[in-house]
Amino acid sequence: MSALFEPYTLRSLTIPNRIWMAPMCQYSAEGTGPDAGVPNDWHFTHYASRAVGGTGLVLVEATGVSPEGRISAADLGIWNDRQVEAFRRITAFLASHGTVPGIQLAHAGRKASTGRPWAGGGPVAVDDPEGWRPVGPSAVAYDEGHTVPAELGTDDIRRIVGEFADAARRALDAGFQVAEIHGAHGYLIGEFLSPESNRRTDAYGGSFENRTRFALEVVDAVRAVWPEELPLFFRISATDWLTENPEDPREGWTPDETVLFARELLARGVDLLDVSTGGLAPRASIPVEPNYQVPFAERVRTETGLPVAAVGLITDPVQAEKILTEGSADAVLIGREMLRDPYFARNASRALDGDIELPLPYGYAV
Ligand SMILES: Cc1cc2nc3c(=O)[nH]c(=O)nc-3n(C[C@H](O)[C@H](O)[C@H](O)COP(=O)(O)O)c2cc1C
């Protein structure tokens, strides 16, 4: 059988195959009122389709640990019981089809308070009903037109660490079996990691040890409430593409730092690194070609022994299979191709001699 269809066990959880859905914001929740951040019929249909499609693990999109942690008012949230209740319907359906339900816990930091991308995206004013003042490690705006974030004090940092832990508790209550901490794409944790966005002079800025402090505090707080038998993932931008670009004078987070950081994550009970790149600065030059992020994942896997998932323009089952058989990653995350084709995993199974069965209402008939 193809490597893609070999089950994968992390702690006590077995994921039935290695084709996983990447977290992708749907910008489809209510922004205000009692249903703010609550998954609705769109989210149910979107995630349920990928379970019917045979996906081994679905990572639900970046979900705000607090209202201010959403990148837009239309994001999902996991800060109240109403959200938990609505998530249960999704996780129960996924689990009943053998798909592991996972969730990405997120705080968008200074990138927050933006609009829905199909309505132009971009920053939403602080005084708009769907806007707010974003926060960040330092008072440095993400880009022109973005509000300068309020610099977080140490009490605020402690509160946000607690919000991640509360979100993890709620995620468990909602039926999720994998929690992923969003440390990539210039979200709050990534903002602390990179010297471009983190200009602090206290214990949370400056040296590698200080810039990684907030991230590791979040990991410790989440690991403390996330059950021993369930895996914890961390998504990182292995580089923010600043230091790699000779035309960009800014200093960024580097692949070497990612390797050092991955060792810390491993020691603290993170079970898998989801290796992405970029997102910190709008003008960073990102090369975009198939497998463009795979070498970063492979390097972490080889140099640290921490399991990794590869992501980024993986669109073809043969391509995905090769990433696994060449030892570059333990699993693949499929993003946009799974938007085009919710049955990506099932179709890969047909093409590559996999063992994904059709659900019974279809399977008995064809
Ligand atoms: C519509 C859309 C929404 C996304 N939302 C998120 C998100 O919520 N969290 C995240 O970490 N990455 C997000 N991403 C990035 C994807 O998870 C993935 O890393 C990226 O699309 C590259 O993979 P692909 O080439 O297979 O699409 C998003 C990407 C797209 C296209």
Q: Atom 1, ligand 1: which residue's CA is nearest?
A: 24
* pLDDT tens digit sequence for 105-140: 999 999 999 999 999 999 999 999 999 999 999 999
Asked if residues 243 and 251 have their Cβ atoms less than 8 Å apart, the reply is: yes
Residue 311 CA, closest ligand 1 atom number:
23
Q: Atom 4, ligand 1: which residue's CA is nearest?
A: 24
- Beta strands in the chain, from DSSP E residues, in sequence order: 8-10, 13-15, 19-21, 57-64, 76-77, 100-106, 135-136, 150-151, 178-183, 232-237, 272-276, 308-311, 331-334
Q: How many CB atoms lie within 10 A of CB 196?
A: 21
Q: Atom 23, ligand 1: which residue's CA is nearest?
A: 312
Provide the pLDDT confidence category of residue 286 given band limits of 50, 70 and 90: confident
Q: By mean pLDDT, which of 163-172, 292-301, 354-363 is the weakest?
A: 354-363
Q: Ligand 1: which of 25, 235, 341 to mutate, judged by most atoms within 8 Å of the beta carbon?
A: 25
Asked if residues 78 and 64 have their Cβ atoms less than 8 Å apart, the reply is: yes
Q: Atom 26, ligand 1: which residue's CA is nearest?
A: 335
CA dist 247 and 258 (Å) reads: 22
Ligand 1 center to residue 261 CA distance, Å? 22
Q: Atom 3, ligand 1: which residue's CA is nearest?
A: 24
Q: At what angle do helices 213-225 and 255-267 cross, to 10 degrees?
A: 30
Stated pTM of the model = 0.98
pLDDT for 289 equals 94
Provide the mean pLDDT of the chain. 97
pLDDT (average), residues 41-45: 98
Asked whether the predicted pLDDT for residue 210 surpasses 90, the reply is: yes
Q: Ligand 1: which of 21, 24, 58 to mutate, judged by most atoms within 8 Å of the beta carbon?
A: 24
Asked if residues 160 and 145 have their Cβ atoms less than 8 Å apart, the reply is: no
Q: Any catalytic annotation for residue 27?
A: no
% of the chain exceeding 90 in pLDDT: 94
The active-site residue, picked from 27, 47, 142, 187, is 187
Read off the tokens for 56: 């081994």
% of the chain exceeding 70 in pLDDT: 100
**Residue 337 exposure: Cα atoms within 13 Å on the Cβ side:** 22
Asked if residues 161 and 205 have their Cβ atoms less than 8 Å apart, the reply is: no
Q: Taking CB atoms and a 6 Å cutoff, what residues make up the pocket around ligand 1?
A: 22-25, 61-62, 104, 182, 184-185, 235, 276, 311-314, 334-337
Q: Atom 29, ligand 1: which residue's CA is nearest?
A: 24
* pLDDT tens digit sequence for 252-277: 999 999 999 999 999 999 999 999 99
For 264, the 3-state DSSP assignment is helix
Contacts of 322 (CB under 8 A, 6+ apart): none
CA dist 235 and 221 (Å) reads: 16
Residue 334 CA, closest ligand 1 atom number:
26
Residue 62 CA, closest ligand 1 atom number:
8
Ligand 1 center to residue 271 CA distance, Å? 21
For 237, the 3-state DSSP assignment is strand
Ligand 1 center to residue 275 CA distance, Å? 12
* pLDDT tens digit sequence for 331-354: 999 999 999 999 999 999 999 999
Provide the pLDDT confidence category of residue 245 given band limits of 50, 70 and 90: confident
Ligand 1 center to residue 142 CA distance, Å? 19
Ligand 1 center to residue 25 CA distance, Å? 7
For residue 109, give the amino acid letter. Answer: G
Ligand 1 center to residue 100 CA distance, Å? 19
Read off the tokens for 256: 């070497």
